[in-house]
């Protein structure tokens, strides 16, 4: 079930009404669990078996690890078993065909044959998100940072909670599980209104920015040979904002929906394009994933507490894995590798050349522009259909400054919505004393909220389909 669908506009209010009418957690938890599985099974019911398998494995792992506290070999054996099975499922459904085709190509170049057929299976929606969330829980129990959850339904809801099930934020057990256990969870009018406003802004980002400018991106990137370098530069710039608004829009809807019901999900985006360097950028972009890799990959590898060369290798390894997490394609590996290189070069610059202070507006602005340009270059690989296309695009951008492909509707409606987005992000970033939907004046609040709803209805694109990150 898509957030930007009529079904969700019926489903969500009904779930909220029933949830608050039930009042007691003995009924609320099972109800939300059923609603979450119904939400997920709208795509392909049979794949609910996978999320249930992951849930049962990590639930049992948590109990067994806690039961054998003090016996590290046994605890480690249970954890490794859980990790191997979970990642094996993820590998089969997401990476087997990619690895198989890569091995076939490599061996063919060497004159050898490889006749293993590809698997004819679809990628289950959200498998990377719920697998990482469940695995993170297992590791946290093993580390002793949280207690194992005894109530299976409560834990199952943690893994499958519908607002953030298919595209995050990738939640942590220490944040979400205690909220599910709360007995006194009453309806809060102010929280519900704030949640609805956050959802509304998420819909604006998705329908009025991402899906509108996305039409131009698709027209150009899917026919690279027909377009000039000028059009490809603009399409790349548009895609930067498309992927941001698509994913941050989803996150806002998810966080807002949970907030209406009284739950607090973690922040996932914090105006990343105002970052003066790549280190800060990754503290603002897809925060739940970058912090997951930090806690469960980068730090276990040794983080920055090792020799300097090893520290840079840890960074590269983490970002290559992050790129691979995004998709089974060499373009994503290149994207992750480029971000690793940016961070390593930034570290070397700080160590041997100059430590940027960003004490002046000019220095911070310069850093922000450079960081944005680096992200645009890397995201070119993220969007390209394959590496060959990415190389062709780079070549055309450098050599072909021909006429610009124009789409009037995208330019009028897309750029207008983009201007509203940039103004809002700048307002929040620099704490401008301007408020609209959260104004102290009731008239301003109502007019601005109604205006935003009207803008979405009149100028939003309702044929954009699913969110980009559903494929991950």
Mapped to the 3 state alphabet, what secondary structure does 313-366 carry?
HHHHHHHHHHHHHHCCCHHHHHHHHHHHHHHHHHHHHHHHCCCCCCCCHHHHHH
Rounded Cα–Cα distance for residues 335 and 321 (Å): 11
Token reading at 142: 């093993």
Q: Which two tokens stand for residue 182?
A: 């709360």
Residue 193: count of CB within 10 angstroms of its CB:
16
Residues with Cβ within 8 Å of residue 3, at least 6 apart in sequence: 202, 203, 206, 250, 253, 254, 467
354 among known catalytic residues: no
> At a CB cut-off of 8 Å and minimum separation 6, what does 181 contact?
25, 151, 154
Structure token pair of residue 98: 């990619």
Q: Which burial class, exposed, middle or buried, applies to 237 when counting CB atoms under 10 A from its CB (0-12, 13-18, 19+)?
A: middle
Active-site annotation holder among 326, 339, 354, 438 = 326
**What is the C-alpha R_g of the chain?**
23
Retrieve residue 84's tokens.
Answer: 């191997």
Which DSSP string corresponds to 202-264? Answer: HHIIIIIIIHHHHHHHHHHHTTGGGS-HHHHHHHHHHHHHHHHHHHHHHHHHHHHHHHHTT--
What are phi and psi for residue 89, nearest 5 degrees? -60, -45
Residue 371 backbone phi and psi in degrees, to 5: -60, -45
Residues labelled as active-site residues: 326
């Amino acid at each position: 079930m898509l957030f930007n669908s009529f079904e969700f506009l019926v489903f969500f209010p009904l779930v909220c009404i029933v949830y608050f009418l039930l009042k007691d957690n003995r009924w609320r938890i099972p109800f939300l669990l059923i609603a979450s599985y119904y939400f997920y099974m709208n795509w392909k019911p049979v794949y609910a078996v996978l999320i249930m398998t992951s849930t049962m494995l990590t639930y049992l792992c948590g109990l067994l690890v806690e039961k054998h506290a003090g016996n590290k070999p046994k605890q480690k054996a249970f954890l490794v078993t859980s990790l191997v099975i979970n990642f094996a499922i993820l590998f089969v459904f997401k990476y087997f065909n990619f690895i198989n085709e890569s091995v076939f190509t490599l061996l063919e170049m060497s004159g050898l044959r490889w006749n293993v057929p590809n698997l004819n299976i679809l990628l289950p929606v959200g498998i990377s998100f719920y697998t990482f969330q469940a695995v993170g829980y297992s590791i946290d129990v093993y580390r002793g940072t949280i207690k194992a959850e005894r109530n299976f339904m409560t834990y199952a809801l943690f893994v499958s909670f519908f607002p953030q099930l298919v595209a995050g934020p990738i939640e942590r057990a220490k944040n979400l599980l205690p909220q599910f256990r709360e007995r006194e969870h009453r309806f809060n009018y102010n929280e519900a209104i704030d949640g609805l406003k956050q959802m509304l802004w998420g819909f604006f980002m998705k329908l009025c920015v991402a899906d509108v400018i996305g039409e131009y991106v698709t027209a150009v990137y899917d026919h690279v040979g027909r377009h000039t370098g000028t059009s490809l530069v603009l399409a790349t710039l548009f895609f930067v904002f498309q992927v941001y608004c698509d994913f941050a829009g989803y996150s806002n809807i998810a966080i807002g929906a949970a907030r209406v019901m009284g739950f607090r999900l973690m922040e996932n985006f914090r105006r990343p394009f105002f970052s003066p360097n790549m280190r800060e950028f990754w503290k603002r972009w897809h925060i739940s994933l970058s912090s997951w890799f930090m806690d469960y990959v980068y730090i276990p590898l040794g983080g920055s507490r090792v020799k300097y060369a090893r520290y840079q290798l840890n960074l590269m390894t983490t970002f290559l894995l992050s790129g691979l997490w995004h998709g089974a394609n060499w373009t994503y590996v290149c994207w992750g590798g480029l971000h690793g290189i940016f961070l390593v070069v930034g570290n070397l610059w700080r160590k041997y050349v100059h430590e940027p202070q960003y004490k002046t507006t000019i220095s911070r602005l310069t850093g922000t522009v450079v960081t944005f340009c680096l992200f645009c270059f890397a995201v070119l690989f993220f969007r390209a259909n394959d590496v060959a296309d990415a190389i062709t695009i780079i070549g055309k951008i450098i050599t072909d400054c021909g006429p610009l492909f124009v789409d009037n509707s995208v330019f009028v409606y897309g750029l207008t919505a983009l201007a509203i987005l940039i103004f809002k992000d700048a307002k929040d970033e620099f704490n401008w004393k301007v408020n609209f939907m959260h104004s102290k004046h009731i008239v301003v609040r109502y007019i601005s909220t109604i205006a935003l709803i009207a803008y979405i209805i009149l100028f939003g694109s309702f044929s954009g389909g699913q969110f980009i990150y559903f494929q991950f």
